[in-house]
């Protein structure tokens, strides 16, 4: 800024010097006019400089505001990520703890019970196998949740049979509710992955509803219906996000990966994810597998 003022002073000096050189002695007779011009130019210059400084100040303030807003957004994202990771670790701990405890207890019972009846021994061995399979499924869900590349093992899958298997696997956990299955259809898909889709959809429906869950198998789609509290339009856009948990039903044992995994698997199969819900009536989740 000092350089600008110095240049302006030099400009005035050159201007007055030029007039003096041109006018000669008349210069002193017209000096008041030249002074008036000089004052006018100085005021104009001061106004322009003031406006430029104000504009620069506004731009600096806008840049600082943008940076501050960006920092706030980044800070919010970090807090959200930390919250999600804490929830994820808690969910992983909860999900692993129960099957590991059953496996350990069953193994200790078999080891310490030399005189155990064979039928009882087989029962505990079955528990170990069942809970080992459960741990394997949890690991598979985490692999999908963290974006590991998966290869489809396609075969002709009977959907009603898969749904019946899901119903059996969830029966002990939800003893006061049932999964009612209607219809039948075959689809070319990865049986293990589609089982995981149906399992996640049915378990969500059982969690969010106190009544029975209905699975309707049509020739081009599967629909899982519940009579829960329903989901708002805003939350429908969020439920398939990784680590998202409903604020109303923030299940401690949930990894927040269920519907994310569903959508990911369906995308691999090029199937269409379907969802509709009405507050106070219930929700309908499923997928379309034929055009």
Per-residue 3-state assignment (H helix, E strand, C coil) for 6-54: HHHHHHHHHHHHHHHHHHCCHHHHCHHHHHHHHHHHHHHHHHHHHHHHH
pLDDT in single tens digits along all 291 residues of the chain: 556 656 656 666 666 666 556 656 665 566 566 666 666 667 767 777 677 777 888 888 888 888 888 888 888 777 766 665 665 566 566 667 777 888 888 888 888 777 778 888 888 888 888 888 778 777 766 666 565 667 788 999 999 999 999 998 888 888 899 999 999 999 999 888 898 899 889 988 898 888 899 999 999 999 999 988 777 666 666 565 555 555 544 444 455 567 878 888 898 899 999 988 888 788 899 999 975
Residue 72 has what pLDDT? Answer: 82
Residue 31 has what pLDDT? Answer: 59
Residue 122 has a CB neighbour count (10 Å cut-off) of 12
Per-residue 3-state assignment (H helix, E strand, C coil) for 174-240: CCCCCEEEECCCEEEEEHHHHHHHHHHHHHHHHHCCCCCEEEEECCCEEEEECCCCCCCHHHHCCCC
Residue 83 has what pLDDT? Answer: 61
Residue 64 has what pLDDT? Answer: 87
- pTM of model > 0.75: no
Residue 12 has what pLDDT? Answer: 60
Residue 250 has what pLDDT? Answer: 44
Residue 221 has what pLDDT? Answer: 94
């Amino acid at each position: 800024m000092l350089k600008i003022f110095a240049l302006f002073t030099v400009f005035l000096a050159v201007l007055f010097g030029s007039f003096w050189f041109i006018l000669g002695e008349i210069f002193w007779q017209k000096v008041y006019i030249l002074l008036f011009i000089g004052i006018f130019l100085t005021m104009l210059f001061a106004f322009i400089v003031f406006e430029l400084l104000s504009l620069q100040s506004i731009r600096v303030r806008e840049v600082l505001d943008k940076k501050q807003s960006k920092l706030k957004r980044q800070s919010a994202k970090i807090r959200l990520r930390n919250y999600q990771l804490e929830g994820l670790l808690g969910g992983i701990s909860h999900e692993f703890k129960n099957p590991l405890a059953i496996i350990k207890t069953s193994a200790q019972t078999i080891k310490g019970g030399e005189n155990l009846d064979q039928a009882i021994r087989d029962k505990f061995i079955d528990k170990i196998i069942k809970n080992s399979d459960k741990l394997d499924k949890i690991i598979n869900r985490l692999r999908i949740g963290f974006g590991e590349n998966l290869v489809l093992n396609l075969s002709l899958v009977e959907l009603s049979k898969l749904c019946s298997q899901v119903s059996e696997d969830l029966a002990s956990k939800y003893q006061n509710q049932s999964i009612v299955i209607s219809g039948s259809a075959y689809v070319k898909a990865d049986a293990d992955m589609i089982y995981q889709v149906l399992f996640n959809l049915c378990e969500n429906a059982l969690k969010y509803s106190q009544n029975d869950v209905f699975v309707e198998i049509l020739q081009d789609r599967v629909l899982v219906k519940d009579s829960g509290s329903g989901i708002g339009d805003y939350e429908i856009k969020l439920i398939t996000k990784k680590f998202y948990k409903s604020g109303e039903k923030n299940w401690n044992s949930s990894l927040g990966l269920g519907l994310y995994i569903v959508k990911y698997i369906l995308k691999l199969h090029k199937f269409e994810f379907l969802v509709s819900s009405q507050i106070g009536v219930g929700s309908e989740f499923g997928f379309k597998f034929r055009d």
